[in-house]
Copies of this chain bind each other. A is one copy, B any other.
Amino acid sequence: MTETLRQYAELTRTAMAEAIAGGEPADYLYDLVRDYTARKGKGLRPGLLLAAADACGAATRTALPAAAALELLHTAFLIHDDVEDHSRLRRGRPTLHELHGVALAVNAGDALANLAVRPLTSTAFPRYRSREVLAELRLAIRQTTEGQALELGWRRHAVVDLTPSDYLELVGRKTCWYTTMAPLRIGAQLGRWRPEPAALDRLGFLAGCAFQIRDDLLDLAPGGQTGKTPRSDVVEGKRTLVLIHLLSVADPAERAWVVDYLNREPDDRSPADQDQLLTLMSAAGSLAYAERFAAVLATAAQESLGTAFADVPPSPALDFLRELIDYLVSRTD
């Protein structure tokens, strides 16, 4: 599976590089626009899109402009997300706003979001396709900004009375649309065979939620995730499923401590306090709870995949898609 994913990622990277080649001013804009793209990501999103397209009978060459557009858009999101989350590391290097300041980073994100649609406007990509994919991308942006607003708003306004279903609503918008739902929907749109739409969306939602819970857990793991600041979610007070579980099971005194922690500014959350929060999470079984939650979602995702693709002929691409969904929710990095 890894080799296929790598090949898809490589193809996408080449298409992306073409879309953002050249341009002036380089030093204040286009070098920034190209920076995150040059830091190689795993290419999960284009991988999903190209695999879904292939499984549905669309050639990789046909689907590549859409994969490149989606991944460019994702990269533009990352630039603004890093500003919004005060992230300091991205793919092992300082974030764009750490390197160039918030102003130039925000502007570079705007420029990249605009350039992202370029691959779709090439004459090689049919106009009706372009219109359909653009509509999907706009829907994904809409959902993503709504989810991001919820997450940022909950933190800014110190909201603590949250349930797992609030979390799923948040993640359904913030993560699932551009990570799993849009890639699957766009990939399927490009092919001859059409998966069952409701089951495909369900697959995207379930796999995306499991992916995000896995991401939250990796952030808390010793050493954190490769290339990111470890436990940055703890520092920022992100409303993860783990935290929501802890808030719901903690005894009154512990809960009061956690609420007080969350009411403080990130800079006022000392390393000792961060350790304490992690200890509480572990003792309350919140980590194990999130693990189980993700496992249930992952199983349901595979079931939805079976339903969605029931009438689509078997193919190596479909096998790869199944493995990729599995990887998304079980990855250790």
- Please tell me if the beta carbons of B107 and A156 are within 8 angstroms of each other in the complex: no
> Is A24 interfacial (CB 8 A cutoff)?
yes
A103 touching B131, Cβ below 8 Å: no
Nearest CB of B to A115, in Å:
7
The answer to whether B102 and A149 have CB atoms under 8 Å apart is: no
Task: State how many copies of this chain the complex holds.
Answer: 2
Q: How far is B121's CA from A145's CA once the two chains are assembled, in angstroms?
A: 20
With most chain B CB atoms within 10 A of its CB, the pick from A25, A142, A156 is A25
Which residues of B lie under 8 Å from residue A32 when comparing CB positions?
Answer: 149
Q: Is A83 an interface residue (CB 8 A)?
A: yes
A250 at the interface (CB under 8 A from B): no
Q: Is the CB of B111 within 8 A of A113?
A: no
CB within 8 A of A114: which of B107, B141, B152? B141
Known: A108-B149, A114-B142, A117-B138. 9 other contacts (CB 8 A): A27-B153, A28-B152, A29-B145, A80-B106, A80-B110, A83-B103, A104-B152, A110-B145, A114-B145
Majority secondary structure of chain A interface residues (helix, strand, loop or mixed): helix
CA distance A83 to B145 in the complex (A): 18
* Contact between A153 and B28, CB atoms less than 8 A apart: yes
Q: What is the minimal beta-carbon distance from A215 to any residue of chain B, in angstroms?
A: 19
Q: Are B29 and A146 in contact (CB under 8 A)?
A: yes
Q: Is A252 an interface residue (CB 8 A)?
A: no
Q: Which of B24, B103, B107, B142 lies in contact with A111, CB distance below 8 A? A: B142
B107:A80 contact, CB within 8 angstroms = yes
Question: Once the chains bind, are A25 and B113 in contact (CB under 8 Å)?
Answer: no
Q: Are A142 and B115 in contact (CB under 8 A)?
A: yes
Q: In the complex, what distance in Å separates the CA atom of A29 from the CA atom of B145?
A: 8
Q: Is the CB of A25 within 8 A of B150?
A: yes
Q: Does A271 contact B (CB under 8 A)?
A: no
